[in-house]
Amino acid sequence: MTGPPDSSPHSSSPADRLSYEQAGVRYDSIDPLKVAAQRAAASTAHHLVALGFSEVVASRGESAYVVDVGPFCIASIVECLGSKALVADEMHDLTGKDYYAGIAQDTIAMAINDLITVGATPLIVQAYWAAGGSAWFDDAGRCAALVEGWKRACDICGVAWGGGETPALAGIVEAGRIDLAASCTGIVSPKRRLSLGDALGPGDAIVLLGSSGIHANGLSLARKLAERLPRGYLTPLASGTSYGEALLTPTLLYSQVTEALFAAGIVPHYCANITGHGWRKLLRHPAAQGYRIHTLPPVPEVLQFIQHQAGQDARAAYSTFNMGAGFALFVAADAAKRAVAVAQAQGVTAWLAGEVVTGAKRLFIEPLGIEFAADTLQLR
Amino acid sequence: MTGPPDSSPHSSSPADRLSYEQAGVRYDSIDPLKVAAQRAAASTAHHLVALGFSEVVASRGESAYVVDVGPFCIASIVECLGSKALVADEMHDLTGKDYYAGIAQDTIAMAINDLITVGATPLIVQAYWAAGGSAWFDDAGRCAALVEGWKRACDICGVAWGGGETPALAGIVEAGRIDLAASCTGIVSPKRRLSLGDALGPGDAIVLLGSSGIHANGLSLARKLAERLPRGYLTPLASGTSYGEALLTPTLLYSQVTEALFAAGIVPHYCANITGHGWRKLLRHPAAQGYRIHTLPPVPEVLQFIQHQAGQDARAAYSTFNMGAGFALFVAADAAKRAVAVAQAQGVTAWLAGEVVTGAKRLFIEPLGIEFAADTLQLR
């Protein structure tokens, strides 16, 4: 993170601008399926009652699904890396370096950082590594990096790696590629750790945790951009780091922060993992209330570069990328400064960045003068 | 299931024979990675101790990973469908019919039937549907079938569908294809339901549960075979059903059987889900003891057809396909007949098929005169 966000008008003409839709991702054709799946899924909850348990209804549509099993709750999730491995593959071709240890961390972060939003302590990670054919596994160095990075990320999160699945899926996964995902199971114990927003309300503080770069969201656009750069991924950023290297900075893992918060007596009222849809994820909770941001984290160099090169205004950039904030904690106002200190003590930069306010559901980013209304995020 | 297994010498010449390696799956290049991953995974178990929990060590290398969380155990898993969806795609092109409801059941069966081997009651399923691009989701009928089949399989298993992930992964998953997987979390409660083999020993009975056909293992070979048939997937079997239709019979779900067994007071000493490696999976438990099979289930017509067309001898067929037995229960001898009756009452055909015997670790299939030694299955 190397400087303030660039929200000034840029020089690109509209024809040069690159939107997420141009990069090949069309949320509108995915979302009807998501809605149908969510409805069908919700209709299966009664099976838990037959077993003497119950779902935590407020977790439907949240980042992890929570079931009350009596003494505590179980939270579970499966998450996909997305297309970041394609950057690792191309950078390997360009530099000869292996990036799969970082890619492993990215994959685990996608699952862990979602799981902890509900207040869960991660217990078990399962690996899903689906290759485009047996040949993927012939590169012993790449395999060793994937295994070592996966283990290291588990160690950082204090989670047990249970096992996993390593299919060779020729004809489904493209030759030479790998589809990486992680499933994660955790427990919410004691149950008062549940942070699904019941206690969220006006006056709560918004604490943002720093990101390390692009993390693993927005890569479709970032890859498309590389095609337009004469030197592609080897284009140097102002710091001298190449664009590709900067993109491949592993996603930060935030579970140490949420565990340390609980140890310090702080239970967040709500959490949002800032991934796809960028800062619109701050609008995730269904309540009718506003979110006022008064302080912006510095924007990582690679995201400044993308915003400038893609000709994005601040609105487009903040609605696509994490822009320096990888995770949001919504805490009681009187716990905000301590929450910042707890995160910093875990080595994660944090800012007291805003507050929950009364009024219509909207996100207002004051320093940029931009606002996102409730209908800019439709997840449920 | 239409007749006895065909173990007679076949007329194909060796040059016509089709092995699993010829079909593109090379286990020897995957397994070193599996071993490295298993070792690294095992080294992360101490994190559970820091949280006051512990892994159930005997679950390492088994079909699901089990953690003791105090009042009960949590079991978890992620499993992939494999290449069966490619058959559905081709059959859709040939017939116009949609097969994704069945494919959904196959995917859930891969996870559920593994999870229950350890004695777990499935609680939560998460969907992982990674398409080769947003366009996959434009086919509303196919999406609806996938959702409906997924829900129906959850209903059969009495499990809650928690949510999932539906990424569009152009450049990783092939255009027009989908990579389907399911993660599943369950509990083992009471803990004496754990069926990891501690009580397994000579004298125990082997009860086999019937399969519905090929299930979702051995599809690489089955697809390769279709390429050699003049009429491909439309080749009629003796019953009149096409080869493709027969292949697409959904995998049976066995969780009703394991739940009914517990309700009837029967705790299996061990279970094996018969998937990849066929009947060699009966050798899964590490103990040094033998497995004598005296009674064979009838072989489903589609597997008879494949065995004949691929020119497989009985040894090759039983080491690749389920050959009519989708799941094995190892139970106390005096519970064997009741276990068969309990399964039948759930609508699943079952046979008292053999017994555990003293001696070297090997599987002896008496009616066929074939034997598999311990080293024919190397999973850990």
**pLDDT tens track for A66-109:** 999 999 999 999 999 999 999 999 999 999 999 999 999 999 99
For residues B179 and A179, give the distance between their C-alpha atoms in angstroms, rounded to a whole number.
9
pLDDT for res A5: 32
Domain boundary among A193, A213, A247: A193
Contacts of A165 in chain B (CB under 8 A): 78-80, 181
Residue B1 has pLDDT above 80, yes or no: no
Please check whether residue A278 lies inside any domain of the structure.
yes
Looking at the structure, do residues A242 and A117 belong to the same domain, yes or no?
A: no
Answer whether A140's CB lies under 8 Å from B8's CB. no
For residues A180 and A104, give the distance between their C-alpha atoms in angstroms, rounded to a whole number.
8
> What six digits make up the tokens of A191?
């149950």
Residue B365 has pLDDT above 70, yes or no: yes
**pLDDT tens track for B34-50:** 889 999 999 999 999 99
Looking at the structure, do residues A149 and A22 belong to the same domain, yes or no?
A: no
Residue B6 has pLDDT above 50, yes or no: no
For residues A158 and A152, give the distance between their C-alpha atoms in angstroms, rounded to a whole number.
10
The more confident residue out of A183 and B19 is A183
Looking at the structure, do residues A311 and A273 belong to the same domain, yes or no?
A: yes
Average pLDDT, chain A: 93
pLDDT for res B65: 98
pLDDT for res A260: 98
% chain A with pLDDT above 70: 92
User: Among the listed ranges A68-72, B8-12, B206-210, which one has the minimum average pLDDT value?
Assistant: B8-12
Average pLDDT, chain B: 93
Residue B118 has pLDDT above 50, yes or no: yes
Top residue of B33, B166, B258 to mutate, by most chain A CBs within 10 Å, is B33
Residue B8 has pLDDT above 90, yes or no: no
Q: What is the DSSP letter of A203?
A: T
Task: Report the residue of chain B nearest A55, measured CA to CA.
Answer: B160
Residue B380 has pLDDT above 70, yes or no: no
For residues B307 and B313, give the distance between their C-alpha atoms in angstroms, rounded to a whole number.
7
End-to-end CA distance of chain B: 33
Please check whether residue B40 lies inside any domain of the structure.
no
Q: What is the DSSP letter of A6?
A: -
pLDDT for res B13: 42
For residues A148 and A127, give the distance between their C-alpha atoms in angstroms, rounded to a whole number.
13
pLDDT, mean of residues A357-369? 97
Contacts of B76 in chain A (CB under 8 A): 76, 124, 126, 162, 183, 185
Q: What is the CATH number of the domain that holds B158?
A: 3.30.1330.10
Answer whether B313's CB lies under 8 Å from B10's CB. yes
Q: Do B51 and A25 touch (CB under 8 A)?
A: no
- Number of structural domains chain B divides into: 2
Residue A29 has pLDDT above 90, yes or no: no
Looking at the structure, do residues A156 and A183 belong to the same domain, yes or no?
A: yes
Contacts of B58 in chain A (CB under 8 A): none
- Going by pLDDT thresholds of 50, 70 and 90, the confidence category of residue B22 is low
Q: Give the position of tokens 């030479």.
A: A176
Looking at the structure, do residues A259 and A349 belong to the same domain, yes or no?
A: yes
Domain boundary among A173, A193, A213: A193
Looking at the structure, do residues A221 and A119 belong to the same domain, yes or no?
A: no
Interface of A with B in 163-202 (CB under 8 A): 163-174, 177-179, 181, 183, 185, 187
Looking at the structure, do residues A295 and A323 belong to the same domain, yes or no?
A: yes
Smallest Cα–Cα separation from B358: which of B195, B207, B201?
Answer: B201
For residues A132 and A172, give the distance between their C-alpha atoms in angstroms, rounded to a whole number.
7
Alpha helix (H) ranges present in A116-199? 140-157
- Going by pLDDT thresholds of 50, 70 and 90, the confidence category of residue B10 is very low
> What six digits make up the tokens of B263?
């309700």
Looking at the structure, do residues B188 and B203 belong to the same domain, yes or no?
A: no
pLDDT for res A11: 35
Please check whether residue B6 lies inside any domain of the structure.
no
Looking at the structure, do residues A187 and A265 belong to the same domain, yes or no?
A: no
pLDDT, mean of residues A126-150? 95
pLDDT for res B15: 45
The more confident residue out of A65 and B61 is A65
Closest CB from A30, A83, A162 relative to B134? A30
Please check whether residue A34 lies inside any domain of the structure.
no
> What six digits make up the tokens of B7?
């173990």
- The bridge status of strand A121-131 relative to strand A160-165 is parallel
Domain boundary among B147, B173, B193: B193
Please check whether residue A147 lies inside any domain of the structure.
yes
Sequence-separated (6 or more) residues with CB below 8 Å from residue B230: none
- Going by pLDDT thresholds of 50, 70 and 90, the confidence category of residue B195 is very high
Please check whether residue A183 lies inside any domain of the structure.
yes
Please check whether residue B35 lies inside any domain of the structure.
no
Looking at the structure, do residues B110 and B212 belong to the same domain, yes or no?
A: no
Contacts of B158 in chain A (CB under 8 A): 47, 50-51
Helix (H) or strand (E) holding A178: strand A178-188
pLDDT for res B287: 94
Q: Do B158 and A50 touch (CB under 8 A)?
A: yes
**pLDDT tens track for B128-161:** 999 999 999 999 999 999 999 999 999 999 999 9
The more confident residue out of B379 and A271 is A271
* Interface check B15 vs A, CB under 8 A: no
This prediction has a pTM of: 0.93
Task: Report the residue of chain A nearest B178, measured CA to CA.
Answer: A172
- Going by pLDDT thresholds of 50, 70 and 90, the confidence category of residue A379 is low
- Going by pLDDT thresholds of 50, 70 and 90, the confidence category of residue A26 is low
Looking at the structure, do residues B58 and B145 belong to the same domain, yes or no?
A: yes
**pLDDT tens track for B282-324:** 999 999 999 999 999 999 999 999 999 999 999 999 999 999 9
Please check whether residue A36 lies inside any domain of the structure.
no
Closest CB from A29, A78, A82 relative to B134? A29
Q: What is the CATH number of the domain that holds B204?
A: 3.90.650.10
pLDDT for res B377: 79
- Going by pLDDT thresholds of 50, 70 and 90, the confidence category of residue A25 is low
* Interface check B151 vs A, CB under 8 A: yes
* Interface check A155 vs B, CB under 8 A: yes
Looking at the structure, do residues B367 and B264 belong to the same domain, yes or no?
A: yes
Top residue of B38, B73, B172, B173 to mutate, by most chain A CBs within 10 Å, is B172
Interface of B with A in 292-331 (CB under 8 A): none
* Interface check B32 vs A, CB under 8 A: yes
pLDDT for res A6: 32
Helix (H) or strand (E) holding A337: helix A336-345
Task: Report the residue of chain A nearest B138, measured CA to CA.
Answer: A29
Cα-based distances in Å from B64 to A188, B15, B61, B203? 22, 39, 8, 26
pLDDT for res A33: 84
Closest CB from A130, A150, A160 relative to B179? A130
> Domain residues for A261?
14-27+196-376
pLDDT for res A374: 86
Other CB atoms within 10 Å distance of the CB of residue A44? 23
Other CB atoms within 10 Å distance of the CB of residue A183? 31
Contacts of B162 in chain A (CB under 8 A): 41, 65, 67, 76-77
